[in-house]
Amino acid sequence: MSEAVSVSHHLIARHAGSALWLARYMERIENLARLLDVTKTYAGDGEVDRNWLSLLRINGDDDEFFAKHGDADAVSVARFYLLDAANPSSVQTAIACARENARTLRALISTEMWLQINVFHARIRALGECDIAPENLSAVCAMLKEGVQAHGGITEGTFYRDQCWHFYMLGRHLERTDQITRLIDTKFNALLPDAATDATIDAGECNALLRAAAGYHAYRREHPHGYLPREVAGFLLLNGAFPRSAGLNVAQLDWHLNQLRVRYHLRNCVSALERLDDLQSMLGNQTIDSILAFGLSPFLDAVQREVAALHADIMTHLCGG
């Protein structure tokens, strides 16, 4: 017999919001590290600027970046994302915000979670100029990825799975849904001003894209005969088993919101669930071909807008605004 989780324990609305944000900020750090690493690896000689530029566009950071820097190259972009605490999209900002949310939640998260975030925070704050030198960048990105993965593992193994955990997981899946659409968008749109066509995206870029999302090997298993950019986009967006696909993350959002509604009787979930329905039908009723016919970029924009609206809805109705 298992002991029932007490559902009568209340969760302070503000704490629910902090849990959601904690997960989002931690996800952002891993995502940034992946993008920096893969950009560094695949920035060939002639394409240096274009690759680093696309990284800035993913995050919509072009303006912020060029206000401070001249050329977008390995060092200036790495400095912008790894060292610049005044840049709202930097890992410095993300870890500071993650830690502040963790601090708010310290009575609810496990001691191990707090300890790891605290140490990780100190590690990231100590990053300096020598860490962003091109020869050290991969090692720093590996450290960042491992830090977030350690956080994920500790969270999986120690975080008590009551309401607060569900809000944490909502944050993780919201962020992953958002991030994958941005990743696809840069490669299929920013790089190719005229609509994406198979002929203009080469294997190297497909490879980079899949590696950035940690989907390379899984994709090879699903599609052993080669790369079709169309299939790469479909895999990243819709695959039901790939941990970073929009499709899988939206399904997880649905599960967690329903748990909150059914197990914890949070009636205010209803409006978020309705919004999620829209997102699910957007993704669920489509094939990659119908999406491409609609236009990939407008579709990705629409998904991002829905994710933002869903986040706002959860914050307003469940997290005290």
Q: Smallest distance from the beta carbon of 94 to other proteins, in angstroms? A: 18
User: Is 225 a residue that touches other proteins (CB under 8 A)?
Assistant: no
10 in contact with other proteins (CB under 8 A): yes
* Closest approach of other proteins to the CB of residue 269, in Å: 9
Work out the widest C-alpha separation in the chain, in whole angstroms. 64
Full DSSP string of 101-138? HHHHTTTTS-HHHHHHHHHHHHHHHT--GGGGSHHHHH
Total Cβ atoms within 10 A of residue 119: 12
Q: Given the complex with other proteins, which of 69 and 106 has the nearer CB atom?
A: 106
Give the binding range for other proteins (CB under 8 A) out of 45-53, 103-111, 138-146, 281-289.
103-111
| C-beta of 77 vs 310, nearer to other proteins | 310
Q: How far apart are CA 11 and CA 91, in angstroms?
A: 29
Measured from the CB atom, the residue of 4 and 107 that comes closer to other proteins is 107
Length of the chain: 321
DSSP class of residue 162 equals S
The distance of Cα 100 from the centroid of its chain, to the nearest Å, equals 19
The distance of closest approach from Cβ of residue 178 to other proteins in the complex, given in angstroms and rounded to an integer, is 22
Least distance from C-beta 253 to other proteins, angstroms?
A: 16
- Interaction between residue 16 and other proteins (CB under 8 A): yes
Q: For 199, which DSSP code?
A: G
Is 319 an interacting residue with respect to other proteins (CB under 8 A)?
yes
39: contact with other proteins by CB under 8 A: no
Q: What is the b/e burial string over 254-282, where b = at least 16 CB atoms within 10 angstroms of the residue's CB?
A: bebbebbbeebebeebeebbebbeebbeb
In the complex, the residues that contact other proteins under the rule CB under 8 A are: 10-16, 100, 103-104, 106-107, 111, 114-115, 118-119, 122, 163, 167, 260, 264-268, 318-320
